[in-house]
């Protein structure tokens, strides 16, 4: 009895100590025409091209651009605006300048990049002459931060649904004859533009390509065909109930994200979640009949005959799709009716093949290969509780391939956030379009180790112990952004099960619109938009699925009705013309967790089957440079090796 009392007191004191650590919140006619008349008519035709040609000629359906990793991708047009007023296209910061220089008309369209993570409103402003266009262009503050001038064009039912003027991160501009083309770029998830902190210029590089692609044809000459409808030779007349026997740890985590309530709608049936990790081992008590094993892209790294432990991959898979093996030891996942496709792309901590995996070119694109395999074999959600500080072109292309085919991609934000200020960007989490997940504790405050940078989209439990399976009839408790990402992947699986046609961008929007513990200002770099909420996300997804994308102007239509257009006079017979928990707090968590585990053991008087030594975290991709950070979790396995990094650590449950 004394032991139980001591453990209970230590648990309370540890949690109280951790709570004092707090979190920081900080985030575009009878005679032939003379040469001069033809030239004047061509100039007039160029100046009115935006209203005389089909809208798709001004704003093509897709535009090719080159990423910061020198890969070639295409941005897709989402919609074309219906208005053609300069005042409607520009905000007050540029509208007055454009008016003074004679801006005659303006129109705009919105595009999304290949990853669906960034969006751009491209505006076309028409001026009476190239000289007046130049006068305005020379006053445009190119690349302000945050972006200003061009009003963005949100489009419901698309990745740009949440894009608003306060989310403009950049502004690009280019003159094209009598036109000025502008592009305002921002994040598709609608986060407000940062006025302080890191600026991710490379993310918005496609804006320059969009401006150039649209400006180029606008600057080209217009062929004059006298007598056509456009050029006249004479002047014209004018949840179910709570499952039995689930340990309190598991139900506490699930309750924190409202998963049991979401199960009243769906438990993830019909959805395959690809877990790109260290593989799933045999004998995991709550994953029997749940897992399909894909290829091993690490094959040959370990010595012949060595049997990998599959610890981290098993743990992550059980958090997503655990089926509850019964009794008081069962683990149930966020989406317990979903199916796991396990693809081994990394090694567990302390495997003998780590040096070979990290140094040999054969394994450099293991994760990218895993993504392609998962998409081609039916995955609707891809979970990557792993990361590396160096992006590669191959990995970016693989992520774009997945998102372009409707697959939701989730990744852990990383565990190197214990220092002050911004933490390093980790990939694939930092690719736009990927749902990067931070870890929070029971109160929704950022875990001290969780990454803090502008890639973070959502947060989920991971700042304190999250229970999961291990192979061979054992369980483990761990913290980190790895289990946090798995929880968000489980919520994504619930949404895709109920609304299978919802795009990745709208799945993310549903989760963003339903968060709890929302930070001041709506977004920060510590917990993103807030903590994921499964039941709320399903409700928001239902609204998005029932809606219809805004139509805008049909691509084949002109910006101005044909009846309103007068033919351009060729022969002139008369006049006419967009820091966290302290070290003390971390120690408090460790003390509380250890005391709670011991308390559970004393109360049950039945020890858990010991887990294999240590629980690995995520690993660095081969060829990465720089040292790796530790997660700050505790476990029986001790510290990880110097060549690998951990997305979470563990303690044997």
User: How far, CA to CA in Å, does 421 sit from each of 196, 638, 645?
Assistant: 11, 28, 20
d(CA 314, CA 469): 6
Determine the distance from the C-alpha atom of residue 177 to the mean position of all C-alpha atoms in its chain, rounded to a whole number: 37
Q: Which tokens in the block code for residue 274?
A: 């690809």
| Given the residues 165, 277, 479, 513, the one annotated as active site | 277
Compute the radius of gyration of the chain from its Cα atoms.
28
Instruction: Spell out the SS3 assignment of 123-182.
Output: EEEECCCHHHHHHHHCCCCCCCCCCCCECCCCCCCCCCCCCCHHHCCEEEEEEECCEEEE
DSSP for 495-554 reads HHHH-TT--HHHHHHHHHTT-BSPPTTS-BTTTBT-B--HHHHHHHHHHHHHS-----S-
The β-bridge partners of 339 are: 272
User: What is the distance between the alpha carbons of residues 22 and 197, in angstroms, rounded to a whole number?
Assistant: 20
Q: DSSP character for 285? A: T
Helix (H, G, I), strand (E, B) or coil at 636: coil
Q: Is 189 one of the catalytic residues?
A: no
Q: In what order do the strands lie in the sheet with 466-470?
A: 466-470, 474-480, 648-652
Q: Which residue has the tokens 């985030």?
A: 27
Q: Please say if 312 is a catalytic residue.
A: yes
Q: Which contiguous run of DSSP H or E holds residue 227?
A: none
Q: Residue 580 corresponds to which tokens in the numbers above? A: 């966290």
Residues 6+ apart with CB under 8 A from 268: 321, 334, 335, 336, 337, 338, 490, 493, 494, 497
Q: Which of 172, 258, 296, 312 is catalytic?
A: 312
Nearest to 480 by CA among 409, 388, 414: 414
Q: How far is CA 131 from CA 102, 106, 126, in A?
A: 11, 17, 12
Distance, in Å, from the CA atom of 496 to the CA atom of 538, rounded to the nearest integer, reads 9
Give yes or no for a contact between 345 and 372, defined as CB atoms under 8 angstroms apart: no
Spatial neighbors of 414 by CB under 8 A, at least 6 apart, are: 387, 423, 424, 426, 429, 450, 451, 481, 629, 647
What's the token pair of residue 532? Answer: 């994921």
653 in Cβ contact with 597 (< 8 Å): yes
Question: Is residue 78 classed as helix, strand or coil in its secondary structure?
Answer: strand
Place of tokens 């990049």: 113
Catalytic one of 318, 482, 503, 634 = 482
Q: Catalytic annotation on 625? A: no
Among all residues, which ones are annotated catalytic?
A: 277, 312, 482
């Amino acid at each position: 009895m004394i032991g139980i009392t001591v453990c209970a007191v230590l648990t309370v004191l540890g949690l109280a100590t951790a709570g004092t650590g707090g979190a920081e919140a900080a985030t575009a006619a009878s005679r032939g025409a003379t040469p001069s008349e033809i030239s004047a008519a061509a100039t007039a035709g160029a100046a009115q091209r935006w209203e005389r040609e089909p809208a798709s000629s001004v704003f093509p359906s897709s535009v090719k651009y080159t990423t910061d990793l020198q890969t070639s991708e295409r941005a897709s047009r989402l919609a074309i605006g219906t208005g053609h007023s300069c005042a409607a296209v520009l905000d007050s910061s540029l509208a007055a300048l454009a008016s003074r220089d004679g801006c005659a008309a303006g129109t705009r369209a919105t595009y999304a990049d290949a990853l669906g993570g960034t969006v751009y409103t491209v505006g076309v402003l028409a001026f009476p002459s190239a000289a007046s266009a130049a006068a305005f262009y020379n006053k445009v503050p190119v690349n302000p931060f945050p972006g200003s001038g061009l009003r963005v064009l949100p489009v419901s039912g698309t990745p740009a649904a949440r894009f608003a003027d306060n989310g403009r991160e950049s502004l690009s501009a280019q003159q094209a004859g009598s036109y000025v083309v502008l592009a305002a770029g921002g994040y598709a998830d609608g986060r407000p533009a940062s006025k302080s902190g890191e600026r991710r210029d490379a993310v918005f590089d496609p804006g320059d390509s969009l401006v150039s692609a649209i400006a180029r044809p606008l600057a080209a000459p217009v062929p004059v065909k006298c007598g056509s409808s456009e050029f006249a030779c004479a002047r014209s007349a004018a949840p179910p109930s709570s499952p039995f026997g689930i340990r309190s740890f598991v139900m506490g985590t699930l309750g924190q994200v409202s998963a049991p309530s979401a199960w009243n709608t769906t438990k993830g049936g019909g959805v395959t979640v690809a877990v790109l990790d260290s593989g799933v081992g045999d004998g995991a008590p709550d994953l029997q009949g749940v897992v399909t094993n894909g290829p091993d892209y690490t094959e040959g790294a370990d010595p012949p005959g060595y049997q990998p432990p599959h610890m981290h991959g098993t743990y992550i898979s059980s958090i997503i799709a655990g089926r509850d093996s019964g009794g008081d030891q069962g683990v149930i996942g966020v989406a317990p009716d979903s199916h796991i496709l396990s693809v081994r792309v990394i090694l567990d901590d302390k495997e003998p093949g780590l040096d070979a995996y990290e140094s040999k070119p054969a394994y450099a694109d293991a994760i990218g290969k895993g993504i392609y395999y998962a998409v081609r074999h039916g995955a609707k959600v891809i979970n990557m509780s792993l990361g590396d500080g160096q992006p590669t072109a191959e990995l970016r292309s693989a992520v774009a391939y997945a998102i372009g085919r409707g697959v939701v991609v989730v990744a852990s934000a990383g565990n190197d956030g214990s220092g002050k200020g911004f933490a390093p960007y980790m990939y694939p989490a930092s690719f736009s379009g990927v749902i990067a997940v931070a870890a929070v504790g029971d109160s929704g405050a950022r875990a001290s180790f969780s990454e803090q940078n502008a890639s973070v989209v959502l947060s989920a439990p991971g700042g304190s112990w999250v229970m999961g399976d291990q192979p061979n009839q054992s369980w483990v408790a761990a913290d980190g952004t790895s289990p946090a990402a798995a929880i968000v992947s489980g919520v994504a699986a619930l949404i895709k099960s109920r609304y299978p046609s919802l795009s990745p961008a709208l799945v993310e929007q549903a989760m963003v619109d339903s968060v709890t513990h929302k930070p001041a200002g709506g977004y920060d770099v510590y917990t993103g938009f807030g903590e994921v909420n499964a039941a709320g996300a399903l409700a928001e997804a239902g609204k998005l699925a029932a809606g219809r994308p805004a139509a805008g102007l049909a691509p084949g239509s002109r910006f101005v009705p044909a009846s309103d257009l007068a033919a351009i006079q060729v022969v002139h017979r008369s006049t006419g013309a967009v820091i966290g928990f302290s070290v003390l707090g971390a120690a408090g968590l460790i003390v509380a967790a250890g005391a709670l585990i011991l308390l559970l053991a004393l109360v049950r008087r039945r020890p858990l089957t010991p887990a294999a030594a240590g629980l690995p975290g995520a690993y660095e991709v081969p060829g990465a440079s720089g040292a790796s950070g530790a997660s700050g979790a505790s476990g029986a396995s001790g510290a990880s090796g110097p060549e690998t990094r951990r997305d979470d650590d563990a303690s044997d449950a």
